[in-house]
Structure 1
Amino acid sequence: MSRAGHTIKAALLQVHSIAGLVLALLLALIALTGAVMSFEDEILDHLNADIMHVAPRPASALMPDELVARLKAAQDAGKVSAVALSSDPSAAVRVRFGRDEQGARPSSLYVDPYDARVLGSPRGEEFFATVRRLHRWLLIPGDAKGWGRQVTGVAALGLIVMLISGLVLRWPRRAGSVKMWLKPNLGLSGRGLHRSLHAVIGTWVFPVYLLMTLTGLWYSFDWYKDGVVWLLSRPHVAAAKMQPKMSAKPPREAGRIEAQAIGFDQAWTTFRREEGGHFSKALLTLPAGAGTAIRIRSWSKETTLDTSRDEFRIDAVSGQLVSAERYADKSFGEKIIANMLDIHRGAILGWPGKLAFMIAAALMPLFSVTGVLLYLSRRRLRRPAQPPLGRLVPGE
């Protein structure tokens, strides 16, 4: 290798080592929390199987507003912010609540759709909510509005630097040899074993880490999100998504709207008329501020992905359909944007993808440990050897 090549590799090794030492613990924490959440849906469904279903009855299920009214009459659980309804007559209704004055959000409830009887709070919900906040925002106050999302974004950028520099440093002389790329030398010990594990297993997980990082940046930086939208969306869709959010109603009307009780029934009736029996489940969310447009996210019976959904906005007072964004009408690039979360966690490939991504994430501490050990061993090798005391000449 030429002198210039040695200089470049030495510089890349410095960059790789410094980035790894600075970000090792943070990346291990983010990766491990991501691994914990890999099968969150399956775990929660198993833990709460006894409260998620009811015996179907001949009587019609209650309308959402009647269900909420009966729930409030039975107990003071807080202000309802959303209800999750299903076309399955045996599925319970999930009621979610808004934050209280202290900023805390009460646990959601599963409710019998026929008589509004409370079946219970989902077990494990608070645990996974905490893990999610740790994974995305490191439990830093402010959540998505705080600076925790920027910290995780910087960590993701650092991981990209380490992935690219590591690939260059790892590039073998026999690049066409599959064995050199993918087979660790377990017969070694000490520094040799650490280097083999760090390099070879890093090659295994390289594409997974790169995909995780590129999709994870979507949630950290608005400039990155806007760039992806511009790149993958049709021009008019990208322009609409990049417009700043405006209040749905003039300021004078805001006070009257806030005082007005907004219900779910009108929107629910319109939604069922639009969708018929094609949906499997729907989440109806009340507007967070001034306005009367209820957002309804709908999943078809054919989809297995959480992000492959239709989205409607329906006026809660008049029942008028304000907008409809159907997944089937999206372009290929827009479907990538819609499925960003499922791509990030490997769910786009089904349960084998989720398993592969979980294992890759769980291996992150291996790179932290072996990377630190390799750095310390290089420091020892570079340290000049001290002459034995017995061989010192008097006066030296």
Structure 2
Amino acid sequence: MAARLGRTIKAVLFQVHSIAGLVLALLLSLVALTGAIMSFEDEIVDHLNAGIMQVAPRQAPALMPDELVARLKAAQDLGKVSAVTLSSDPSAAVHVRFARDERGDRPTSLYVDPYDARVLGSPRGEAFFATVRRLHRWLLIPDDGKGWGRPITGTIALGLIVMLVSGLVLRWPRRAGSVKMWLKPNLGLSGRGLHRSLHTVIGTWVLPVYLTMTLTGLYFSFEWYKDGVTWLLARPHVTAAKMPAKPPRLANSGPVPSIGFDPAWTTFQREEGGRFSRALLTLPGGPGTTIRIRSWGKASLLETTRDEFRIDAVTGQLASAERFTDKTFGEKIIAAIYDIHRGAILGWPGKLAFMMAAILMPLFSVTGILLYLSRRKLRRAAQTPLGRLVPGE
């Protein structure tokens, strides 16, 4: 009875695994390959733009951000500046980003000399990687993260988890303790046998990586998943603060005040001193006056090991300071979830391993489809044509 139940469960899992694989094969390969392309984006962009990211340091002090933006706009017709990246390194250029225009397009960013606001150039590779990122996250579906692309890629990730779990159960060998059974493909086979060996064995190699990718990727796809992770890993007051109240509406008696970077930048420098290496200052997208500043320490090697400040752009008053070192272990995991997703938490070897695993995704799509077609061929061959039947058969 138990054996029959086990065979029934495996038969159901086999159908689920096959159907999910056939439906998601192309999309999984697309998402995986675009992720692989972005694995070393930072290193590639830095290499392509090494000539415009550095300036000769001078004795004169660097311009304050508002004066730099004013000189930049006076020199040429530009859109609204939305963010600037400043550095404690006197030889680093300022990176200026712009808000989206009326059509929803974002102008290309610029690197600017911090001493005289001279434009050094636009970063090469920025538009390419921005398109790859939108394809990876939202499949280029309109409205980006606010459209249907986000839940669709999340559903794809859920489908991959189903395939990984069902595939592991289906290939569980009788000698589960044998490393050879788990990890050694039989390259001496050909045809269907070789396809099956590659599909199952290499799938075992990359299963931990794929599970890590999907479990962290879901954090960016579904609010319910993000809320659950935050509830599980963060302290109660952090969980409660996850959904901040909407900023108060400004009084109707006057226009919205024009805000700049200088008061917030002055407060940030007073708070951080010389501990930071670079800081990203972002103007509010709505009617509020709070500037968000993300800063990275001089010893920071990861994108997500950063401090975050919120400072009133009018008064320069510090509203909040969230330092990475003050987080609990669970909160550090949440903060680093993007670096975990791409393997950067393990340094460049981790990024390389995750990139190679992503590149292998089309292998499972191809071998899975070949196995499906060979099964159909075997079934047809096993069915005796009706014209050849004789009485009693």
Normalised to the residue count of structure 1, the TM-score between the two structures is: 0.96
Superposition deviation, residue 16 in structure 1: 0.1
Deviation digits for residues 74-111 of structure 1, max 9, x if unmatched?
A: 01121000000000000000000000011100000000
The residue that corresponds to 1:232 in the other structure is: 233
Which AA in structure 2 matches 1:330?
K
Change (3 A) 1:2 1:279: same
Superposition deviation, residue 2 in structure 1: 1.3
Superposition deviation, residue 6 in structure 1: 1.0
Change (3 A) 1:157 1:390: closer
Alignment map for 1:1-396 (pairs within 5 Å)? 2-241=3-242, 243=243, 245-246=245-246, 248-252=247-251, 256-257=255-256, 260-385=257-382
Are the counterparts in 1 of residues 83 and 281 from structure 2 also a CA contact under 8 Å?
yes
Superposition deviation, residue 250 in structure 1: 2.5
Are the counterparts in 2 of residues 254 and 290 from structure 1 also a CA contact under 8 Å?
no
Superposition deviation, residue 290 in structure 1: 0.9
What secondary structure does 1:296 align onto? strand
Q: 2: CA distance between counterparts of 1:354 and 1:380?
A: 40
RMSD (CA atoms):
1.8
What secondary structure does 1:188 align onto? coil
Gaps of 5+ in 2: none
Q: Identity of paired residues, percent?
A: 80
Gaps of 5+ in 1: none
Which AA in structure 2 matches 1:95?
V
Deviation digits for residues 280-305 of structure 1, max 9, x if unmatched?
A: 00000001111111100000001100
What secondary structure does 1:383 align onto? helix
Which AA in structure 1 matches 2:73?
K
Are the counterparts in 2 of residues 54 and 91 from structure 1 also a CA contact under 8 Å?
yes
Which AA in structure 2 matches 1:336?
I
What secondary structure does 1:140 align onto? coil
Superposition deviation, residue 252 in structure 1: 2.2
What secondary structure does 1:73 align onto? helix
Q: 2: CA distance between counterparts of 1:212 and 1:2?
A: 34
Which AA in structure 2 matches 1:120?
G
Which AA in structure 1 matches 2:374?
S
Change (3 A) 1:376 1:255: farther
Superposition deviation, residue 376 in structure 1: 1.0
Are the counterparts in 1 of residues 38 and 133 from structure 2 also a CA contact under 8 Å?
yes
Change (3 A) 1:282 1:381: same
Are the counterparts in 2 of residues 254 and 291 from structure 1 also a CA contact under 8 Å?
no
Larger displacement relative to structure 2 (385-394 or 202-211): 385-394
Deviation digits for residues 208-266 of structure 1, max 9, x if unmatched?
A: 0000000000111000000000000001111111x3541x2334259632xx2211111
What secondary structure does 2:180 align onto? helix
Q: 1: CA distance between counterparts of 2:385 and 2:86?
A: 79
